[in-house]
Amino acid sequence: MKPQICLIEDDPIMGEALVERLDMEGYACDWFQRGRLAVPGLLHKHYALAISDIRLPDISGEELFVELRQSGQPLPPFLFITGHGAIDQAVRLLKLGAEDYLTKPLDVPKLLDKVRSLSTRERTGTDDNPQLGISSRMRQIEAMLPRLAANARMVLITGESGVGKEVVARALHAQADPSGKQPFVAVNCGAVSESLMEAELFGHARGAFTGAVKEHKGCFEQADGGTLFLDEIGDMSLPMQVKLLRAIQERAIVRVGGEKPIPVNIRLVCATHRDLKKMVEEGRFREDLYYRIHVVQIDIPPLRERREDILWLSDRFLAEFSGDGAKRSLDASAEDAMLAADWPGNVRELRHCLERGCILSPAPVLTAATLCGDCAAAQAMPAPTLADHVAASERRRIVEALAANQGRIAETAAQLGISRKNLWEKMKKHEIRAQAGEEA
């Protein structure tokens, strides 16, 4: 039986093309050109996926989705189609529980990839409350965690500095220990000197060295029964890597100055911003240790590749910094600046930027000017490119021609020297209504 998809698209050309393509890919498609016509099926039929345009004749895709969520009925994953660059609108939809979005003009191979991925998801209710982010990639990572918590005892988390590797590690631990009774112990391998690393990890016996007046439990023993998080494991020295590998293989440690092996039962989560495979080839990381900790890998993308998370994270940080009871928020200029920045320091830089703004500004609403200094969010908006200028000129010319021809498509297409189909495609691309040139 073919998986069923609910398509909500008012454009007859695009709708017909999508139905034919989805049928070729092995999907059955119910196509609706009005949002409200799709409601009964979305509430009562078992669709594998819903694909909806945001701009519809009778109700916006956002309003439709909100109404469906409020019904309390389980819904299929929702994939929205929106105007190019409308990240603020897409962020609102993702916050509401939508799975993902695509911008116009549609990249069909990308659409099909998302259809294949999302159509295998389970139907969800109204309790969707993402903890890691609202972008598609962070939702995928969050969806993996319950299975990893139940089955994986060794996990490697990779990603640039500041992307939130420890946050993911803590989320994994929370999945494994909903009661919160098991320990989570974090160690930054790059912050502990080589001479102290062994005692830090494995502990030491009384009298093991000068100053060791009593025995000390190391991080392995402290984490027994829970999770040990070794951050920046790529900074660990080769001799220490040997000792770590032995502890992992034997599931036991020996304290510095001690003789008796002490069994430990831990989930080991390692993290690094380095390319461990390249380090293995260069002889700077042990190959046997690499394959031992590389059972399951979670790669966290940088913030610039998941911009949907920027405003979502900002809301959470501002709520955290509003300890004085005054709720903080961003105005439109600040949001635009945040979305435009590249954030080389990732989530850590975003957090510091907002914290700085809250400290320096007494106003409840932060502006782009408030988030100034060396903060990435204060960078000027990029100048329009040649492509932006061409697109704006094309849009303006189409609007003028539609107005001159009172919205008649055939006459407008003839005046512009293009086909009706080409005109429809350009109108959808630039979000232009057909009524007397009125803008969408």
Amino acid identity, residue 387?
Answer: A
Numbers of helices and strands, H then E, in the chain: 18, 16
Distance CA 6, CA 123 (A): 13
What Å distances lie between residue 40 and 5, 52, 387, CA to CA? 14, 15, 42
Average pLDDT, the chain: 85
Could you tell me the fold of the domain covering 137-299? Rossmann fold (3.40.50)
Nearest to 219 by CA among 207, 231, 234, 237: 231
State percent of the chain over pLDDT 70: 88
Look at residue 426 in the predicted model and tell me its pLDDT: 85
Question: What is the C-alpha end-to-end distance of the chain, expressed in Å?
Answer: 39
CB 138 within 8 A of CB 111: no
Q: Over 97-155, what HEC string results?
A: CCCEEEECCCCHHHHHHHHHHHCCCCCECCCCCCCCCCCHHHHHHHHHHHHHHHHCCEE
- Mean pLDDT for the stretch of residues 247-254: 94
CATH of domain 303-378: 1.10.8.60
Highest mean pLDDT pick, 84-93, 335-344, 390-399: 335-344
Write the pLDDT tens digit of every residue in 20-56.
999 988 999 999 999 999 999 998 888 999 999 988 9
Is it the case that residue 120 has pLDDT exceeding 80?
A: no
Residue 36 confidence (pLDDT): 92
List pLDDT tens digits, range 195-226.
789 989 998 887 666 666 678 889 999 999 99
* 14-23, 144-153, 320-329: least confidently modelled range: 320-329
The domain segmentation of the chain, as residue ranges, is 4-129, 137-299, 303-378, 386-430
Of 112-121, 125-134, 242-251, give the range with the top mean pLDDT: 242-251
Task: Look at 150 and 370; give whichever has higher pLDDT.
Answer: 150
**Residue 289 confidence (pLDDT) above 80:** yes
**Angstrom distance (rounded) from CA 93 to CA 134:** 9
The DSSP letter of residue 37 is G
pLDDT at 400 over 60: yes
Q: Does 4-129 match 303-378 in CATH topology?
A: no
Q: Which residues contact 200 (CB under 8 A, 6 or more apart)?
A: 187, 192, 218, 219
Whether 146 shows a pLDDT value over 70: the answer reads yes
| Domain 386-430 = CATH 2.40.390 | no
User: What pLDDT sits at residue 95?
Assistant: 77
Residue 236: Cβ-neighbour burial (10 angstroms; 0-12, 13-18, 19+) = buried
Task: Report the amino acid identity of residue 165.
Answer: K
Mean pLDDT of 305-322: 87
Pick from 35-44, 79-88, 131-140, 415-424 the range whose average pLDDT is largest: 35-44
pLDDT for the residue numbered 100: 86
pLDDT value for 38: 94
The answer, yes or no, to whether residue 428 has pLDDT greater than 50, is: yes
User: Is the CATH number 3.40.50.2300 carried by domain 4-129?
Assistant: yes
pLDDT for position 439? 38
**Mean pLDDT within 176-188:** 92
Confidence of residue 378 (pLDDT cuts 50, 70, 90): very low
Other beta carbons within 10 angstroms of residue 415's beta carbon come to 16
Alpha helices in 341-419 (DSSP H): 346-360, 386-404, 409-416
Q: Which two tokens stand for residue 11?
A: 């454009």
Tokens (6 digits) for 126: 């109204």
Give the model's pLDDT for residue 216.
Answer: 85
As a dihedral over the C-alpha atoms of residue 366, residue 368, residue 369, residue 371, rounded to 10 degrees, the angle is 70
